[in-house]
Amino acid sequence: MPPSNDIDVRLAISSAEGPNSAIFKVWSPRGKSDVYASVREHAGVFKVSLHETGECKAGLTKQFADTQLKALSAMGSTRHQSEWQRLTHVGSRIVTPLQFVVPASELRSWREKEIDSAKVTWLPMPTPEHSVIISCIFSGQRLPDEEWPGRKNGTVLVGTKHMPNGEKFWLLWQDCPTSHHEAMMLRQGAEVRSQREMVRFSGIPEDTLLGPRLLIFKEFIEDRLLVVMDSAAN
């Protein structure tokens, strides 16, 4: 487990040798109360920012967006896919602004290059019709490590950090039955893939096939939650 004043974790589902997911990176710089998340296969392109003010954003990184003015215009001239305001902790309140989801049906043997498996925490493959859910959670600091959120319901603790602003950050995962919300996200992803007119970044010709993995986003407004699903493109 990372030290309590820092967190830098890479997570993936299954193993480097078999069907697996993308690699999720979650980090919080030392001395800061912000948390960031990304996907290794989209490093430098996509990032989620969970700021200590409660402001949350997900979308293209500024460095990448600055090179994609045409695509950015087609996306509404904003590099942010989602923007929302999470609740900050009050007493024993638990706040979950971000989750990554990987259904068992979406695991594939797809990597063409070897990865340094020692730098990745490999989570068990979910059972059929189940999904692994990786949750980024905030609470007050009085909640002890051994009483992490959802422990009685089967969540597994990956890491925790005491934030300078008085909050506590938790990184957890759980094997859960695939919900109807997740099934709907998969259907919507299939619909998007079937569209002929899609926003493409520079250097990607129109007849180029999609990569092996696809990220699907869904905002749950009432819960102030963004769910990012890692799915197979084929």
pLDDT at residue 88, rounded to an integer: 83
pLDDT at residue 56, rounded to an integer: 96
Alpha-carbon torsion angle 33, 117, 132, 87, nearest 10: 10
State how far the Cα of 38 lies from the Cα of 48, in Å rounded to an integer.
Answer: 6
Residue pointed to by tokens 């609470």: 139
pLDDT at residue 84, rounded to an integer: 94
Q: What averages of pLDDT result for each successive group of 10 residues across the chain (234 residues)?
A: 72 92 95 94 85 91 63 58 84 89 96 85 95 96 92 96 93 97 92 63 46 88 94 88
